[in-house]
Amino acid sequence: MMPPHDTDPDTPAAAAPETGTDGSAPLPVVRLKPKANARAVRRGFPWIFADELVTDRRTRALAPGTIAWLEDAERKPLARVAVNPNSKIIARVIDREGRGIPDHDWFVARLRRALALREALYDRPFYRLVHAEADGLPGVIIDRFGDIAVFQPNAAWAELLLDPLAEALAEVTGVTTILKNAGGRGRTLEGLDDADAVLAGAAPDAPVPVEMNGATYMADLTGGQKTGLFYDQRENQAFAARFARGHDVLDVFSHVGGFALAALAHGARSALSVDGSAPALELAEAGARASGTADRFETRQGDAFDVLAALGGEGRRFGLVICDPPAFAPAKPALEAGLRAYERVARLAAPLVAPGGTLVLCSCSHAADLAAFQGASLRGIGRAGRRAQLLYTGQAGPDHPLLPQLAETGYLKALVFRL
């Protein structure tokens, strides 16, 4: 049953017959402003920004994470949403059908659907299990490492419902350890804390080995970056590794050796990993030892731009060069500076590629779309005096599905050039 219309046009937070998550109170109602794009919401866009919602006194008083009905300006119901008056994204679509609220059974249904996709894709339980809005759990990231799950509740509603979400996760997947990672940038934007926690089981006291693309990676699930390992590049690493056999490989911004270890597993003559983080390079070295390729692997710690310039000065050349930097343009205000940084990476990396060799350039910036990133990369290659063939355009793997209505879910770009 849909909620009744409020009789006061200036107070959208009317009562709905459905109860809240604790079964004790009806859901409030929030309403779009007349100029807001209700059609976009009906067609699947999952976010409502603060300037699109009527924010009267009662709406502003809603506790962050409150589940509410969303209506259009004409009082027609659109969806159930999670509201956070403290966030620029003031409402996130939770349930478009309007037949459920986030409780244990609701989480179980969403997680089973997400698990079915990953089990169809991968033989072993190492993958991204939940990719936020694309899996119907807005702001929630869950990466799986066998019997361990690491998740980031990057939205207030998920933080509020941490316990039923964790219980459903254990029930659906059988994981025995659940770690909460509170380091996501989105938590700050939602007004959430940065306190990590162990929600079930015990945190591992050593890095967890993960086998991908013929190599073994060491994932630090408690002290590493993000959730401990970047699963999103798996397919791009496999493609780039095709060009590694018999060649020297340079992997810049390598983290725990993502591209380098895959290249060694596919017959690279040698691989050099460059990163600013000593702990990340130590994990890369441990991965090389576990993969049986340590004799062909070396690392260099330092600023990536400085190391690229130094390698050029040394006259080094590689058959395969990969640059996978952090997000230089995480938001629109940083776009121009970010594109200049991507251009600089390409300009410094291109001279290091042997004639006929392969250059892989990546971006995980939300604000830089594929066309902008490709343009910056080609400008850098051109300014280095090189010519390029574009062989492959990659994105995040299928365990990071895209929500077509939300460009941010298509954040990762990988371009493979032959120079």
What is the length of the chain? 419
Q: Helix 335-349 and helix 304-313: axis angle, to 10°?
A: 30
From its phi and psi, is residue 281 left (phi > 0), alpha (psi between -120 and 50) or beta? alpha
Decide if 323 is catalytic: no
Spatial distance between the Cα atoms of 373 and 325, rounded to a whole number of angstroms: 13
CB atoms within 10 A of CB 126: 23
Closest CA to 31 of 54, 14, 60, 4: 54
Closest CA to 361 of 240, 265, 226: 240
Q: Helix 370-383 and helix 335-349: axis angle, to 10°?
A: 40
Contact 40, 32 (CB under 8 A): no
Spatial distance between the Cα atoms of 124 and 232, rounded to a whole number of angstroms: 16
Q: Which two tokens stand for residue 30?
A: 């929030």
Q: Which two tokens stand for residue 383?
A: 């300014």
Contact 77, 98 (CB under 8 A): yes
The 3-state DSSP class for residue 272 equals: strand
Spatial distance between the Cα atoms of 161 and 139, rounded to a whole number of angstroms: 13
- The one catalytic residue in 38, 364, 368, 378 is 364
Spatial distance between the Cα atoms of 283 and 248, rounded to a whole number of angstroms: 21
Question: Could you list the active site residues?
Answer: 364
